[in-house]
Chains A and B, each alone.
Chain A
Amino acid sequence: MLNENFDRSETPLGGILLDVKNLSVYLRQDQNLREKLLLNRISFQVRRGKFTALIGRSGIGKTLTLKAIVGFLTPPDWRLEGDINLYKNGQKKIALLKNGRYLPDNLKALRGKTVFTIFQGPDSHLHPTLSIKWQIGEMIRPSKPWKNTGASIKKWLSDVGLDAGEAKKYPHQLAQGQRQRALMAMARGCKDLVMADEPTSALDDDTKKQIIQLFLNLRKERKLESLLLVTHDVNLIRSLFEKDDEIIILDKTDGQGVGVIDALDRAESELPDHIIESRKLTTRYVGEIPLVLKSHPLLNPRRIENMRTIVSSKSIGDVILQVKDLRQTYSHGMLKKPRVVLDGIDLDIREGEFLGIVGKSGCGKTTLIKSLARLLPNTQGRIFYCRPHRKPQENWKVDLIKIQPDGSKPDSPIMMELRKEIQVIFQNSASIFNPRMTIGEILTETVSTIFGVRNQNERRNMITRSLLDLGICKSEGDIEEILKKYPSELSGGEKQRLAIGRVFLLRPKLIFADEPFADQDIITKIEILRMMNRIRELNSTAFVIVSHERDLIAQTSDRIATIANGGIKEIMIPSHSNDLEKAEFS
């Protein structure tokens, strides 16, 4: 067994395991060797037996640092500077990156055996057509003969709490938490350093708790020694870390902070300066915003509780969407029975309200939104859309299912008209825009094809006004710059904000937002919420927000609907004046 053969006595705890020295990362942009500096002279260390967290705003380069360590940033796209060394067994120094050049032989020897990386999203990390057992066995096979792998696979699986029967399954047959566990089992094959990129971001609350408990158990049993954790979830760090574990913050600044976990629990003003001074490293990150660790917004856990103050109190109007007995099925071919996802949903959505929808993952939250926006076939029931500011004779109340029944042509004129008023913001902000169009083209398309504005100046004015209104851009110069960019040049938060901006161009009456806060750091969350509130103030738009973050929904929304077993379990009105316990769900 690999871990048993590994002699721990040689490795002093607290000794340096991974040493990153003056790491700079350049992205080569074109043939003329123009380069963009992404990381500027980062230095940090990971110590043996300690957990280390790498935190920062989304899009700042946390995952990039991880990829640089594993050796994925290869030329010609990337150019590196600096050194990365690994101290195997506490003494022997192995260079992974020397003067900006990878040493392929060392990387090859270390990957998987000494350094194991769990990348974001277990779905993308596991092979879809190989069984879990096979994939875990692959971690041992280079060093062990085929026959003897069974015992260690069983042991690793039991370590992470998976049954032996589940080992024969394929990734798509497992739940999301189980997939994460399978990855953890693979990480057991690794001797020294495990690196995890957002291990809990896609999970719902219960599964998240279980995974955190698993991390803690593995640490207690000394099966997981050193961990480099990349996250922007401060609560994860708080629950996972012990004393003397380190936090490294990446930010656009000249100063750099490495704090001790104790500092988090104290009040911000009480943090003694000498802790920062003594721990100060020479890590730098390119940019302008100056940062002092003690007032770093990422490390402020009370932010969510203050989010209520962002949402202004506004009078809620009449019902604009009336859902009666909604039933949604997914059909799997002619002969199989269709799977019922939603059944018997009754819901009223009022003008200008924030309606939160919560539930376990896989309970049909996203399906509800898609079927209400008429993006799915096989929707039954009635969805009445009452168009505000219209007289009764002007076709003010329409049934969305009747005006576009299944099998009819998709672009009926009434439906095209209604699509302007009912908008959807989708979950995956990384891929909501056509990658081959600039932001300018995308926004112009909205104004010209959907809104029908012909005049070029008028189009430009509309876009400018909306972006300034929502605070996406500060000045006209900013707008000019952002309109030229392609979606791949923007960070996740910027894309999410622009998606909201694009929706706002049409001045819709009802917006469905599918996980708008997921995968965002707390600062971006606040910005997004502020924008949503601004839209509501300007246009009295109703928002239906789906999220698995119950605290956040409890703080922001006017009503909360809980979905379970394909139906609405309960609808409650949280009292924001009191503590969180009153709005405790399911």
Chain B
Amino acid sequence: MDSREHDLKVGPETYRHLKLFQYFGFTVWPLFFFISLITLIYSFFKCIFKSSKKSRFKTLRARVSFLFYPFSILRSAVKAQNFRIIGGILLLLPILTATILNIFYLFVAPRTFTTLPLLAPQLLHPFGTNNEGVDILRLIILGAGHTYFIGMLATFFALSLGLWLGAATLERKRERFILGFVETIETIPVLIFMLVVMAIFNFWEELWKTRRVISFVLPFLRILILSLGIGLAFLPRMIRLVQERIKTFISLDFIDGTKAHGVPHKRILWFHIIGRNCLEDIIVTATQVWSSVVLIEISLDYLIAISPFLGAKVYTSWAGMLLTFDVRNALVNFLPKLNFEHWWLYTFPAFFIISTIIGFYLYGDGLSVYCQEKRRRDKGTWTSVDLVMFDLGQKWRLWKC
């Protein structure tokens, strides 16, 4: 049998690896869900037990106020006419709901459930069905967890390591090593590096599939390697940002004063400089990094899916869905024309990809403006004049004169 034909074989065997994703769904997401639930309950009770001393927890509304924190950000964004934050949140709503639905979907409706193939969008299947008869909406929801989790892990990795290494550059001996490391990483092209890494991983995956214990860990390992690799690419940016911010604030007068006052150096670095003065900038950069990670991850998925020799593995991701069966058919058989008949196969995943990336960018942008405004409102500010979005017109006119 020809190897091409083997790839094109339609049926449940092609999607055998998806079972691994089900393991992932059954184990990690409930775990994640329960941990966050426990933290939520713990913080809730902590607030209540402390309430006897502190007046701010006396009313019920005040006690549960932490639950409304995301909404309060949204409300103040609306108040401040910060359309970027609002737009960002609106665009991110699909992926957020899909991610949350992901948890339940894997219990309720496993992926193996199929109906008639290639149904156009209709009431029962709002996004239509696959050539295998799988609901597209369900595939999108499955892919959301994948996208969201990798972005989160990569950003967390870059952020935490970037903070630690960036703070460590204050010592001259370490600075040379860290900056050398940063420059080394900056020379690596991310996409090609990750393609190679994933190809190697796919090779080992084939060997390990037969072993029972390791095959259970493989899906986690895949996601871990993918996210750490992409996170590594954004590490230099975070390190340089943290270093620059710290060096800006460390030369200011109040640092000398605080040092002489007897505050330990560690507290000055982590609380006075990073915690109080640079954290906003770092968080804003982190959201931008997140959006870039999602972009890279999606293009990587697409590249992996397009080249069978690298291992056509992640068909569930949104980028993999863009590569529909007729596109693959055209690629493999060198057909000059593409068939646009089944438009629902690629339109809905593409919409989700676009909305997620633009949403993240907008959200990060709006968050930076929001932080500046909050700084102004709190009056804890270095500069009396910050750029404010809704007043840009007037500022610009006066700047010219």
Contact = CB atoms under 8 A, between A and B. Distances in A.
Contact of B385 (A30, A77, A419): A77
Interface in A480-499: 486-489, 499
B380 A437 contact: yes
Nearest to B53: A456
A333 interface: no
Contacts of A420: 262
Interface string A414-429: 0010011001101010
A436 B398 CA distance: 29
B222 interface: no
A450 B261 contact: yes
Contacts of B379: 29, 486, 488-489
A331 interface: no
A434 B258 contact: yes
Contacts of A449: 263-264, 267
A30 B261 CA distance: 33
Contacts of B259: 375
Contacts of B254: 431-435
B307 interface: no
Given A435-B380, A486-B379, A74 B257 contact: no
A373 interface: yes
Interface string B252-286: 11101111111111110000100011000000000
B272 A434 contact: yes
A104 B398 contact: yes
Given A30-B376, A436-B276, A426 B257 contact: yes
Contacts of A46: none
A446 interface: yes
Given A432-B254, A434-B258, A108 B401 contact: yes
A334 B261 CA distance: 31
B252 A431 contact: yes
A343 interface: no
Given A30-B377, A431-B254, A487-B380, 18 more contacts: A30-B376, A76-B391, A76-B394, A411-B265, A416-B264, A419-B261, A424-B261, A431-B252, A432-B257, A434-B254, A435-B381, A436-B277, A437-B276, A437-B380, A438-B380, A488-B379, A502-B261, A506-B262
Interface in B334-393: 373, 375-382, 384-385, 388, 391
Nearest to A487: B380
24 contacts: A30-B376, A31-B79, A31-B80, A74-B394, A74-B395, A75-B394, A104-B397, A375-B256, A416-B262, A419-B261, A426-B256, A431-B253, A431-B254, A432-B254, A434-B254, A435-B254, A435-B380, A436-B375, A436-B378, A436-B380, A450-B262, A488-B379, A488-B381, A503-B261
B401 A104 contact: yes
Interface in B63-117: 79-80
A75 B379 CA distance: 17
Interface string A283-312: 000000000000000000000000000000
Contact of B377 (A31, A456, A502): A31
A148 B257 CA distance: 50
B388 A76 contact: yes
Contacts, number: 103
Nearest to B384: A77
Taking residues whose C-beta sits less than 8 angstroms from the other chain, chain A's interface range is: 35 or more
Interface in B223-277: 252-254, 256-267, 272, 276-277
B46 interface: no
A445 interface: yes
A424 B391 contact: no
Contact of A428 (B253, B373, B398): B253
B16 interface: no
B400 interface: yes
Name the 10 nearest CB pairs between A and B, nearest first.
A104-B401, A419-B262, A424-B260, A436-B276, A431-B253, A436-B380, A76-B391, A432-B257, A108-B401, A450-B262
A411 B401 contact: no
Contacts of B388: 76
A383 B381 CA distance: 39
A102 interface: yes
Contact of B260 (A29, A108, A375): A375
A435 B260 contact: no
Contacts of B276: 434, 436-437
Interface in A362-378: 373, 375
Nearest to B76: A31
A466 to B, nearest CB: 14
A104 B256 CA distance: 42
A14 interface: no
A77 B373 CA distance: 12
A503 B80 CA distance: 40
Contact of B253 (A432, A437, A486): A432
A423 B260 contact: yes
A410 interface: yes
Nearest to B398: A74
Interface string A435-451: 11110000001100110
A78 to B, nearest CB: 9
Contacts of B381: 435, 488
Interface string A56-73: 000000000000000100
Interface in A395-425: 410-411, 416, 419-420, 423-424
A436 B395 CA distance: 25
Interface string A450-488: 100000100000000000000000000000000000111
Contacts of B401: 71, 104-105, 107-108
B385 A446 contact: no
A20 to B, nearest CB: 20
Contacts of B257: 424, 426, 432-433, 499
Contacts of A107: 401
A511 to B, nearest CB: 11
A502 B379 CA distance: 21
Nearest to B262: A419
Contacts of B378: 436, 486
Given A104-B401, A432-B253, A436-B277, A75 B391 contact: yes
Contacts of A433: 254, 257
Contacts of B267: 449
Contacts of B53: 456
A456 B54 CA distance: 11
A289 B259 CA distance: 39
Nearest to B379: A486
Nearest to A451: B262
A506 B395 CA distance: 46
B331 to A, nearest CB: 54
Contacts of B253: 426, 428, 431-432
Contacts of A77: 384-385
Contacts of A437: 272, 276, 380
Contacts of B262: 416, 419-420, 423, 450, 506
Interface in A84-140: 102, 104-105, 107-108
Nearest to B401: A104
* Chain A CB within 10 Å, residue with most, of B256, B261, B385, B401: B261
B265 to A, nearest CB: 5
Contacts of B266: 411
B265 A373 contact: no
B282 to A, nearest CB: 14
Interface in B30-54: 53
A80 to B, nearest CB: 13
A427 B304 CA distance: 62
A419 B260 contact: yes
Contacts of B400: 104
Contacts of B252: 431
Nearest to A410: B265
A417 to B, nearest CB: 9
Contacts of A503: 261
Nearest to A103: B401
A432 B379 CA distance: 16
Contacts of B380: 435-438, 486-488
